[in-house]
Amino acid sequence: MRSFVAIDFERDVKETLVSLQKEIKMHTLSGRWKHEDNFHLTLKFLGEVETNKIKQIDDRLLKACSKFEAFSLCFSHLGCFQGQEFIRVLWLGLTGDTNALQVLQKTIEIELEDLGFASEKRDYTPHVTIAQDVVLTEDFENIKDLIKLYKIPKIQVKSVYLFKSEQKGPKRIYTPISEYKLVH
């Protein structure tokens, strides 16, 4: 089962992100846009996981999350990972209690490492993907100036989730299979 660990968003955040996508789409020729239900903040990609390992993962993530109090994040800026001829990934950066986020992510990395999930070599750069393979009709800097991120509600981080990722037809579906509550 293809899996990852992430922070899920409340419905109002997801709906506002869809509105933001619509604003950006007016300035594009094409792109693959994230579905409303698939918005999340990845903490750790696990890849293929055997179902008999889920209990061990659950135990480790319960332990990791029990050390953290709930915190909040805000969207800060529109960014991109540039490809050769198009924007490979269009994303939103975060502000708020990013220190708590970084420590939570690192704790999860450490807890899962001796279960065979190697730690990421690159520094963790928290971002929320909103589209991929985007071809713009104008300069990215101009579009960044048009987008009003203050309209997006705060992200209240109260839980972390283990998600499974499935391909169903042309669509990728992310389904939470376990929840790990932070201390409230």
Mean pLDDT of 152-179: 93
pLDDT at 84: 84
Q: What angle do CA 138, 85, 95 make, to 5 degrees?
A: 65
What percentage of the chain exceeds 70 in pLDDT?
99
Mean pLDDT of 146-171: 89
Band the pLDDT of 2: cuts 50, 70, 90.
very high
SS3 letters across 39-86: CEEEEEEEEECCHHHHHHHHHHHHHHHCCCECEEEEEEEEEEEECCCC
Whether 149 has a pLDDT exceeding 80, the answer reads no
pLDDT at 16: 93
pLDDT at 46: 96
Strands 127-136 and 159-168: unpaired
pLDDT at 170: 83
pLDDT digits (tens, 9 = 90+) for 92-123: 999 999 999 999 999 999 999 989 999 888 89
Residue 75's CB is within 10 A of a number of other CB atoms, namely: 24
Whether 150 has a pLDDT exceeding 90, the answer reads no
